[in-house]
Structure 1
């Protein structure tokens, strides 16, 4: 059997490992448009602060490791088109310019996600950076200077962790978030308020319910961050506005949710029985609601990737779903969450009650 994996993300590499460990005779081809594989983007903040010394240490695996297992790894190869009817793909070799076709028996979509680039005026300014992949991490590191004023747009996991990193390096940090509390997709208001106070204790200037509307050049080579409440002069801005699934290749060919995330069944199989999906490109089966949800976490990606590698050979191992458990360290505190927050349960009109315990 010939299995094609598009994307050497956490999910893609987990799928390849599972296939080649269980069925080493399988022909596995991995197409990856970058020159590196399985970058751990959640560790960028550790690299900035020097906890991780080398950016090269932030890869889950390497092309050489996958080749040793028996995979054909085609880095710097961009898949241009998928024809699900004929089970063919069109691929461009980004180094030579050659365009060729390839075929598959089973396909695993592990194309991951990209940073959402919000429609903000001036978003392409040279002093506005994004934070997700290897190249962007290197840009952030190269931009580090002493006594900088840094604006971070978006207070999800990535933005909050970056705020901690810059603050721990004695940078002046402003954190902008368009919601009423930070980490709103993960924490309820009480825990979010505790996290806010912790950041403020370390001199992070938090702007809640304040949407950034533009970036512009200021005097003395500064960057102006524009909001409805006022303008702020900084040295650098980092936009962390969330992630969107990379699923354009299958748009109109398999079922997706309204965000463009691929829908899967209990065996991480798409609406096309010969295509499986794993990681940030697809939804999770979210146990607290019994409904699909888009929850881009590395733990989900690794589990789904392994399941895709098992289930391409048949419905062998059902997906148990997830509670979307996650945790983060914020200065000298650890915060963890699992399942729905109380406000999220209320929004879904679930019959819930609420209790708070505080103690050692």
Structure 2
């Protein structure tokens, strides 16, 4: 069996390893446009902030390892066309310009995503950077020391992590976002209000509900300021973090996609052509809260999907369980976790929901120390099915998001969570675990109606 893998970051690396483990007789050929594989882009902010000292540690594999496992790895090779009927790919060696064709029995598309670059006047100015891969991380590091006024455009996870990194480095940081709240996709106002107040108290300038209109530059072409719908903000370094789009231009009109270009796959990672598999940020995940497809680019999804490609490349054996979009964030001492829909996002996913918010200590007050936990449970009206949850605390309770994720995936109800068996030990929690308390508050609200 001849397998061609296009793209080798999280999903591609996982797919190659899984294919060779499950089917050691397979002939696996990898084509990757970059000169590296498996870069953990979620660590860029940690690298910029000095928490991670060596960028090489953000790689968890390399071409040599994949080759030793049995793959034929072609770095800096660009696949320019795919003949789906003839089962061949056209490839260009980016170093020599040589072009050749490679045949396959099974094709794996792990082409990932790319940052959205809005067509804003002046965006080609110097010192306006993206934040996705290793080379971009190196570029940010190289320009960080000489930058004093840093503007981050986009208040999602990557943008917020960069805000913290540059803030900790003593830079003058401005965050611009077109929405009225930071982390809008992951958290409801009770949580974002708390975090925004903390950011502002630390000197971070939040310019929300504003769209960037123009970038101004000096005579040398270096950015000097950012104009928005509400004002102008000085900058000598701008980082764009306004989201990602799936990199699927190669198979446009050849495979089923969502309107945004994300590939539609079945539970075994097969596209609309059964011999073509796809995984990672170029794929629409099965979103469990509303039992439908959604575009949620996360490394965790990519790794799981890539692994499942290997499990199913010969025959359908292990089904994808879907995702809740579970995520965690550390921000200036706050530990934040979320899963599933928020009250704000629920209508977008066609869900009619209610919610409850509770603040409680994570362990008994008789202990020498404790910390408050702010929690929110989101559940479907009528069924009381849990469809989302959010937690934040100075104490690390982020694993709670994983527990809530399992509740969503297994379609547990509020009552299930209210009385589920959690252990009690004063070092760790209360006689009623704080998640029990949260769900019991939801039951009280439901029963009063």
Q: TM-score range by the shorter chain?
A: over 0.9
Q: Tell which has more relative contact order, 1 or 2 (C-alpha 8 A, sep 6+).
A: 1
Deviations 1:70-124 (A, max 9, x none): 0111001000001111110000011111100001100110001001001111111
**Preserved CA contact (<8 Å) 2:290 2:350:** no
Give the match's secondary structure for 1:354: strand
Equivalence for 1:296: 297
Q: Does 1:156 align with 2:153?
A: no
TM-score, structure 1 normalization:
0.97
Runs of 4+ in structure 1 deviating by more than 6 angstroms, as ranges, are: none
Call closer, same or farther: CA 1:137–1:147 in 2, change over 3 Å.
closer
Query: Is 1:197 equivalent to 2:197 in the alignment?
Result: yes
Query: In the alignment, is residue 331 of structure 1 matched against residue 332 of structure 2?
Result: yes
Query: Within the alignment, does 1:215 sit opposite 2:218 as a pair?
Result: no
Contact 1:245 1:280 in 2 (8 A): yes
Deviation by residue 1:148-171 (Cα, 9 ceiling, x = unmatched): 010000011110100000000110
CA, structure 1 residues 145+344, in 2 after alignment: closer, same or farther (shift >3 Å)? Answer: same
Contact 1:215–1:225 (Cα < 8 Å) also in 2: yes
Aligned equivalents of 1:277, 1:196: Cα separation in 2: 38
In 1, the alpha carbon distance for the partners of 2:231 and 2:52 equals 37
1:266-298 C-alpha deviation (Å, 9 max, x unpaired):
111100010011000101100001110000000
Is the Cα contact below 8 Å between 1:147 and 1:170 reproduced in 2?
A: no
- The aligned residue for residue 15 of structure 1 is 15
| Residue in structure 2 matched with residue 258 of structure 1 by the alignment | 259
Partner of 1:4: 4
**Closer, same or farther: CA 89–147 of 1 in aligned 2, 3 Å:** closer
SS of match in other structure, 2:345? helix
Quick check: 1:154–1:176 contact (8 Å CA) kept in 2? yes
Residue aligned with 2:114, SS: strand
1:145 matched residue in structure 2:
145
Local SS of the residue matching 2:336: strand
Whether 1:227 aligns to 2:228 is yes
Cα displacement string for residues 280-330 of structure 1 (whole angstroms, at most 9, x for unaligned residues) = 010110000111000000000000000011111111101110111000110
Aligned-residue Cα RMSD (Å) equals 1.4
- Distance in 2 (alpha carbons) for counterparts of 1:118 and 1:109: 26
Aligned 8 A contact 1:127 1:223 in 2: no
Q: Which range moves more in the overlay, 57-66 or 186-195? A: 186-195
Distance 2:102 2:23 in 1: 21
- Cα separation, 1, equivalents of 2:8 and 2:147: 38
Q: Distance in 2 between matches of 1:10 and 1:112?
A: 8
- Per the TM alignment, residue 147 of structure 1 is displaced from its structure 2 partner at its CA by 6.7
More off after superposition, 54-63 vs 345-354: 345-354
Which whole-Å CA distance do the structure 2 matches of 1:135 and 1:186 have between them?
Answer: 28
- Determine if contact 2:147/2:237 at 8 Å carries over to the other structure: no
**Unmatched 5+ residue regions in structure 1?**
none
Quote how far apart the aligned CAs of 1:222 are. Answer: 5.8
For the 8 Å contact 1:218–1:224, the answer to whether it is kept is no
Q: Where does residue 317 of structure 1 map in the other structure?
A: 318
> Which residue of 2 is the match for residue 170 of structure 1?
170
Report the count of equivalent residues: 360
Name the SS of the counterpart of 2:271 in structure 1. Answer: coil
CA distance in 1, matches of 2:28, 2:147: 49
Residues 288 and 323, structure 1, Cα contact 8 Å, conserved in 2: yes
Q: Distance in 1 between matches of 2:249 and 2:337?
A: 33
> What SS does the corresponding residue of 1:50 show, helix, strand or coil?
coil
Give the Å deviation of 1:236: 1.1
User: Which blocks of at least 5 consecutive residues in structure 2 are unaligned?
Assistant: 362-449
In 1, the alpha carbon distance for the partners of 2:304 and 2:120 equals: 35
Assess, with a 3 A threshold, how the Cα gap between structure 1 residues 147 and 248 changes in structure 2: closer, same or farther: closer
